Amino acid sequence: MPEMRDIKTSKEAVEKAKSAQAKQARFGQDIALDSYAQSAESIDYQRDLSQLPQATKERMLEVGVVTDDKVERSGTIVQMDSSVIHSLTKQDDVEVMSTNQAMEKHGWLADYLWKAVSVDSDKYTAHVELHHSNGYFIRSLTGSKSVYPIQACLYLNKKNLAQTVHNIIIAEENSELHIITGCTSGGKNEPGLHLGVSEFYVKKGAKVSFTMIHNWDPQIAVRPRTGIIVEEGGVFISNYVIMKPVQSLQTNPVARCVGENAVVRFNSILVAQPGSSMDVGSQVILDAKGARTEIISRTITTGGTITARGYIEGNAPEVKGHLECRGLILGEKGIIHAIPELKGQIAGIDLSHEAAIGKIAEEEVEYLMMRGLTRDAATATIVRGFLRVDIEGLPDQLNQELRHAVEASEKDLM
Amino acid sequence: MSGIKENLMEIRGLVVAVGGKEILHGVNLNIHVGETHVLFGPNGSGKSTLLMTMMGSPRYHVTRGSIIFKGKDIVGLPIDERARMGIGMSVQRPPVVRGVKTRDMVAACVGSRQPEESVESMAARADMSDFLDRDINYGFSGGEVKRSELLQLLAQRPDLALLDEPESGVDLVNIALIGKLINDLLQKDHYLRDRNRSGLIITHTGHILEYVSARTGYVLMDGVVVCEGDPKEILETIKKKGYEECRKCAI
């Protein structure tokens, strides 16, 4: 039996979810939820992750989740199908546990459910509410600072399962939290669906970096639903990388800067291989004076379809936002559709965007060849450069890990 | 002993077309080992076309003639093979390559050879230390672009350096440094008999000749070499009488 969630969700949330059960998402191909299994067998808790099968550990490592030597991680949580099979924190001032456990432990947590994401956004959020599964809860206590990142893994193993997770991340005032989330499936080319709701609360003066690497299989559909609320002086940095095949991915996280001088950065690296369809956006609502944002996406298609959205809304004085979508079409086929949008509703704001889609410039290839690189090596260097996003505010170690993860997948592109 | 060493680059009857239009109409040029030559000419005369053709850019079609480098006709060889044979080029307006750092470019120039000097030390010489971890040419000023190009060539150590207007866009303070880097690159501190590096420099203003000595100057007009002689003498003539005097010379 799957681990049942003992969440005292409000009647209101349930009602709202029920009303949205048939509500199609605004973007992305519609998915028939009833064609997937709604539950999975319970999987035993693993005290020692190094005992997992080698193939599983390798898949996890590919998305940045270390199982053998966790020296450089402050905490770990792993959910496989519907079961949280491991959770551990090495710091007293950082909580890492399943959402179910957290709901039992903290009565107040109910106040955080469905506040950053609306339960009736669409049929997928409704489904997560109505089909109780699990998810992770990560919370940094006031003033705490995680030495190393916390790692979270969502692993979809069972064939044809609809994996539903509800994650809550809270950075209390003046704390600093770095999270690596790796989402992956078993590498078996079987159908599956991942529905992940993630709600982030970045309190006054807190800082959260969230680095997410996705590595699915060609028949997996993915519908993450993410909301972020950033209070005064808070910083939220999201890095999202997907370079491996997926059937259909649609996500459009919304970050709201509700406190003065809040900062949000979204960096996305998307590679669509033939057969992959991705509709990925980032939205930032600047609701408080002096709030700032930067949205950067780098997209490459080798034959798949990418819609790269970006939306910045300025509703308060002295806000500043910049949006940059750059796309490369490698190969003969493939579509990139960049949709950068800005909306200003008040004087004295500064919003801008730039978008470019193209091929690799011959002039750049020739320039590198003049220095002795072969045409192939020059092309690879340019692609590597294109995907290299130097992320401000990310610890060096995390920046390096991210770069390695990207470089490891670059080989498939050439 | 004449002091003249073996031929490094020999261009014979070179005819080049770009996009179907003939730009060079039969250019001849000889560069021996250790020599520096200078190419003058008005805008659009074909100077950059000649250098890009020597480097091997596929947009420049050699329809007749030959380019013999180290005894081998290199027409048809790709750019990178020419680079590995020992030809290097400082590009007049090099492209920005986002995400590719100056350091990466210098490393590519060193290639698999044993480096004679560290990247940091070379960068310091070119006053480019602060640019190593910046995207190549991104937001670089005119002088910074030229110093970056020369830094790359210092790392590449080509036997023949093709320098396309190394002084253009460079202020007076920087031009002395540019001159010094070119002299280092071309081993100007070596006696001629010990000098193995050669250069071909395009100059529009002739400014660089105040810093770098050259053996032979050419004037290229409308795709033809109309004059060959002492570079400083040619420069003086151009300054006094303009390029039209060179055209008369050709007639």
List the beta bridge partners of residue A336.
Answer: A306
Are A370 and B89 in contact (CB < 8 Å)?
yes
pLDDT at A2 over 60: no
How many other CB atoms are found less than 10 A from the CB of residue B153? 28
Q: How far is A324 from chain B (nearest CA, A)?
A: 13
Residues in A closer than 8 angstroms to B148, CB to CB, are: none
pLDDT in tens, A39-87: 899 999 999 999 999 999 999 998 989 898 767 899 999 999 999 999 9
Mean pLDDT of A232-240: 97
Q: Does A400 score more than 70 pLDDT?
A: yes
Return the residue in B79, B81, B105, B156 with the most chain A beta carbons within 10 A, the one to mutate for interface testing: B79
What is the rounded CA–CA span in Å between residue A329 and residue A316? 37
Total Cβ atoms within 10 A of residue A171: 31
- pLDDT given at position A8: 54
Torsion of CA B169, B174, B178, B180, to 10 degrees: 160
Residue A134 has pLDDT above 80, yes or no: yes
Question: Across the A/B interface, how many CB contacts are shorter than 8 Å?
Answer: 64
Domains in chain B: ranges and CATH: 7-250 (3.40.50.300)
Q: How far apart are CA B174 and CA B168, in angstroms?
A: 11
Task: Identify the closest residue of chain B to A360 by CA–CA distance.
Answer: B97
Q: What angle do CA A380, A386, A387 make, to 5 degrees?
A: 95
Q: Map residue A7 onto helix, strand or coil.
A: coil
Query: What is residue A96's predicted lDDT score, i.e. its pLDDT?
Result: 97
Q: Which of B98, B101, B152 is most worth mutating to test chain A (most A CB atoms within 10 A of its CB)? A: B98
What is d(CA A356, CA A207) in angstroms, rounded to the nearest whole number?
Answer: 31
Cα separation, B181 vs B195, in Å, equals 16
Q: What does the pLDDT read at residue A7?
A: 53
Tell me the pLDDT of chain A averaged across its residues.
93
Burial-class residue A145 by CB neighbours within 10 Å (0-12, 13-18, 19+).
middle
Q: In whole angstroms, what is the distance from residue B198 CA to residue B187 CA?
A: 9
Whole-angstrom distance, CA of residue B161 vs CA of residue A161: 63
In DSSP notation, B112-151 reads: TSPPSS-HHHHHHHTT-GGGTTSEETTT--HHHHHHHHHH
Reported ipTM: the value is 0.95
Query: Which pLDDT does position B16 carry in this prediction?
Result: 98
Of A367, A375, A384, the CB nearest to B95: A367
Asked if A370 and B88 come within 8 Å (Cβ–Cβ), the reply is yes
Burial per residue of A278-289, b for 16 or more beta-carbon CB atoms within 10 angstroms, e otherwise? bbbbbbbbbbbb
Q: Where are the domains of chain A?
A: 11-360, 361-414
- Nearest-neighbour CA in chain A from B81: distance (Å): 7
pLDDT tens digit sequence for A3-51? 444 455 688 999 999 999 999 999 999 999 999 999 899 999 999 999 9
Per residue in B217-247, pLDDT (tens digit) is 999 999 999 999 999 999 999 998 888 877 7
Q: What pLDDT was estimated at residue B4?
A: 64
Residue range A277-309, pLDDT digits in tens = 999 999 999 999 999 999 999 999 999 999 999
Give which of A328, A359, A370, A403 to mutate to test B binding, by max B Cβ within 10 Å: A370
Q: Is A363 within 8 Å of chain B by CB?
A: yes
List the structure tokens of A307: 């819609």
- Which chain A residues are Cβ-neighbours of B100 within 8 angstroms? 368, 381-382, 384-385
Chain A residue with the nearest C-alpha to that of B154: A371
Give yes or no for a contact between A300 and A383, defined as CB atoms under 8 angstroms apart: yes
Please state at what angle helix B142-156 crosses helix B102-110, rounded to 10 degrees: 30
- State how far the Cα of B130 lies from the Cα of B112, in Å rounded to an integer: 25
A369 and B79 within 8 Å at the Cβ level: the answer is yes
User: In a structure prediction context, what are the per-residue pLDDT tens digits for chain B, which is 251 residues long?
Assistant: 445 678 999 999 999 999 999 999 999 999 999 999 999 999 999 999 999 999 999 999 999 999 999 999 999 999 999 999 999 999 999 999 999 999 999 999 998 888 889 999 999 999 999 999 999 999 999 999 999 999 999 999 999 999 999 998 898 889 999 999 999 999 999 888 889 999 999 998 888 999 999 999 999 999 999 999 999 999 999 998 888 877 776 55
Residues above pLDDT 90, as percent of chain A: 84
pLDDT score for A71: 73
